[in-house]
Structure 1
Amino acid sequence: MPAVIEKALDYIGGMNTSASTPHSMDESTAKGIFKYLKALGVPASAEDVTARATKEGWNIEFTKKVAGWAEKIDSGERVLIKNPEYFSSYMQEQLRALVQAEHAHTD
């Protein structure tokens, strides 16, 4: 799994993953992360989310919702992000830097 997806899942893993439904702030953040990864050309898959969730013991319903968003965004479906401001510029910079570093190693 690319480092940028690992980092993105670290952000999601920092949420209340024991809840059955993500908080609305966390929902907006997760959707923003997935949308940004797709824009960077490194989309996260439902399998990526599920693998991390299984490893870390996330709530099953939480995992289904988050994996579903990853799948929708990966397949090009539109998702509503109610509070896009929760996906911070700091997170964007961190993810973009990882993609750039990965491309530097492969060029």
Structure 2
Amino acid sequence: MPAVIEKALDYIGGMNTSASTPHSMDESTAKGIFKYLKELGVPVSAADVTARANQEGWNTEFTKKVAGWAAKIESGDRVLIKNPEYFSSYMQEQLGALVQAEHLPTE
């Protein structure tokens, strides 16, 4: 798994993953991360999310929701990001730098 996807999942792992439903701020952040990485040509898959969730013991319902968003965005479906400001420019810079450092192909 590319380091940029690992970092993205680190951000999500920092959320309250023991809750059955992600907080609205966390939902917007996760969707923003997935959308941004898809735009960079490095989409996060539902399998990536599920593997990390199983490894770290995330709540099953939380995992289903987040993996569902990843799958939706990876397939090109639209998602509503209610509070896009929660996906910070700092996160964008960190993820973008990892894509550049790994010389991953971008779309």
Q: Same fold (TM over 0.5)?
A: yes
Matched with 2:86 is: 86
Q: TM-score, normalised by structure 2?
A: 0.96
Number of paired residues?
Answer: 104
Name the amino acid aligned to 2:5. I
Letter in 2 for 1:39: E
For 1:3 and 1:42, how far apart are their aligned partners in 2? 11
SS in 2 for 1:82: coil
Displacement of 1:10 after TM fit?
Answer: 0.1
Quote the offset at 1:36 in angstroms: 0.3
Aligned residue number for residue 4 of structure 2: 4
Cα shift at 1:16:
0.1
TM-score w.r.t. the length of structure 1 is 0.96
Please tell me the residue identity of whatever aligns with 1:66.
Answer: V
User: CA RMSD of the aligned region, Å?
Assistant: 0.8
Render the CA deviation track for 1:16-50: whole Å, top value 9, x for unaligned: 00000000000000000000000010000000000
Is the aligned partner of 1:33 residue 2:33? Answer: yes
**2:25 counterpart of 1:46:** no
Letter in 1 for 2:87: F
Deviation at 1:98, TM superposition (A): 0.2
Partner of 1:21: 21
- Deviation (angstroms), 1:57: 0.1
- Aligned residue for 1:96? 96
Q: Distance in 1 between matches of 2:49 and 2:4?
A: 13
